[in-house]
Amino acid sequence: MGTIHDRMAEDLRLKNYATGTRTQYLRCARRFTDFFDGSPLRLSEANIRSFLVHLTEQKAAPATVKMHVASIRFLYSVTLRQPAKVEHLLLPKVAHPLPDILSSAEVGELLNAVASFKHRVILMTAYGAGMRIGEACALTTTDIDSKRMVIHVRNGKRGKDRYVMLSPVLLSALREYWRQFRPAGAELFPGDKPETCISTNAVRAALKQALKKAGIKKRVTPHSLRHAFATHLLEDGADIRVIQELLGHGSIRSTARYTHVSTKHIAKTKSPLDRVSVNGGATGA
């Protein structure tokens, strides 16, 4: 793919795609071009469709096929400037299972099981402010505003900035972290190399170990803390539009998803059966 790969990488950066998205798009584009072992400029719409059919025949998950479609669309529409070849590509339907939600008690058990204090504070930040793990890792020291009790989240999804609350409990933990580590540069949670922040993979690894130690069997990733943040706020009566702003969602539909996972609200809803008079005892007795 050579020069085309480099141009696509530049285009993704210029359009300010997230690092993870850029990596995925480039990986999918490489797989696509390797399948034909030739320049994508010479491929037809039929060739592109045959590759996607190949993915489905190989039992690729719908989400995987969808990512390849998105990558190929970008490659032809932006980098190669041949949009006609991809304008009719179909996106597979992808299931959206509801996430496992940690209870407040489980969040506490999980955070207490994190061995490294630095990793624990990062995960506390992710949960306490509803931040994506990449956003938490990338915080700078000036993003913490203790006078206004807010955190400035910069360059979130779609390049948007936002403010989120600064919990007094989190502020106390951040001050203790500062006392212990005294980061020298601008990064609040620096990585191993100068002027870099800690990698999200390091935090994921720490979370995985903590899950095992805490004995939590639910499917949990760092993003699960963001899910828990939104669900717990909703259960405590927070307005859904406030939650939308805190999460940085572009659409209320994304936030409304949490109304489906709040079992507290479901449990409080009275069944119509409660209004019906039914004789006691086992049915059919």
CB 206 within 8 A of CB 115: yes
Supply the pLDDT for residue 44: 94
Does 257 share its domain with 119?
yes
Does 127 share its domain with 160?
yes
Q: CATH number for the domain including 7?
A: 1.10.150.130
Q: What domain range is 109 assigned to?
A: 104-267
pLDDT tens column, 32-51: 999 998 889 999 999 999 99
Supply the pLDDT for residue 237: 84
CB 136 within 8 A of CB 126: yes
Bigger pLDDT: 249 vs 68: 68
Does 149 share its domain with 11?
no
Q: CATH number for the domain including 179?
A: 1.10.443.10
Q: Give the whole-number percent of the chain exceeding pLDDT 90.
A: 67
For residues 138-153, average pLDDT: 94
237 token code pair: 């009566």
Q: Write out the catalytic residue numbers.
A: 132, 157, 223, 226, 249, 258
Supply the pLDDT for residue 283: 44
Does 128 share its domain with 260?
yes
Does a structural domain hold residue 142? yes
Q: How confident is the model at residue 266 (pLDDT cuts 50, 70, 90)?
A: low
Provide the 8-state DSSP code for 269: S
Does a structural domain hold residue 94? no
Q: Where does the chain show beta strands of DSSP type E? A: 144-145, 150-153, 162-165
275-284 per-residue burial string, b: 16 or more CB within 10 A, e: under 16? eeeeeeeeee
Domain boundary pick from 36, 53, 85: 85
pLDDT(281) > 80: no
pLDDT(153) > 60: yes
Q: Cα-Cα-Cα-Cα dihedral of 239, 171, 130, 116, to 10°?
A: -150
Does 133 share its domain with 58?
no
For residues 206-211, average pLDDT: 96
Rg (CA), the chain: 23
Please state which of the ranges 3-12, 52-61, 157-166, 190-199 shows the lowest mean pLDDT.
157-166
Number of domains in the chain: 2
Does a structural domain hold residue 71? yes
